[in-house]
Amino acid sequence: GAVVSQHPSWVICKSGTSVKIECRSLDFQATTMFWYRQFPKQSLMLMATSNEGSKATYEQGVEKDKFLINHASLTLSTLTVTSAHPEDSSFYICSAGGGNNSPLHFGNGTRLTVT
């Protein structure tokens, strides 16, 4: 079945540094990928829609300059958390669709801790 790979699975960084998270579709091409954020015991909140070859579409309240999204190819989208602060600590998870009649598949998520 369709597989989405996300890397790294966890990262600890110092406040003020930037962190890049990769999301790859392994056996299908994805013109659209989605980035979600999840706080403990809460739901997934959509941050942005990543569009191959064009600018990402951000949800209301999400700072586009802080959460940089690049979708340079049909199999890779990256989320960069710039100048990270402790409040950015969260679980970030990406998803991509496998095409018609296929549900969105999710990466295994990245647990970010900013110290």
Partner 1 sequence: AQKITQTQPGMFVQEKEAVTLDCTYDTSDPSYGLFWYKQPSSGEMIFLIYQGSYDQQNATEGRYSLNFQKARKSANLVISASQLGDSAMYFCAMREGREWGNKLVFGAGTILRVKS
Binding site for partner 1 (CB under 8 A): 31-32, 34, 41-46, 49, 91, 93, 95, 97-106, 108-109, 111
| Comparison of 49 and 82: residue with beta carbon closer to partner 1 | 49
| Minimum gap (Å) between residue 94 Cβ and partner 1 | 10
Over the range 22-60, which residues count as b (16 or more CB within 10 Å of their CB) and which as e? ebbbeebebeebbbbbeeeeeeeeebbbbebeeebebee
* CB closer to partner 1, 13 vs 91: 91
Nearest-angstrom CA–CA distance, 32 and 38: 20
What is the DSSP code (8-state) at residue 59?
Answer: P
Min dist CB 100 to partner 1, Å, is 6
Q: Which lies closer to partner 1 via its Cβ, residue 16 or residue 103?
A: 103
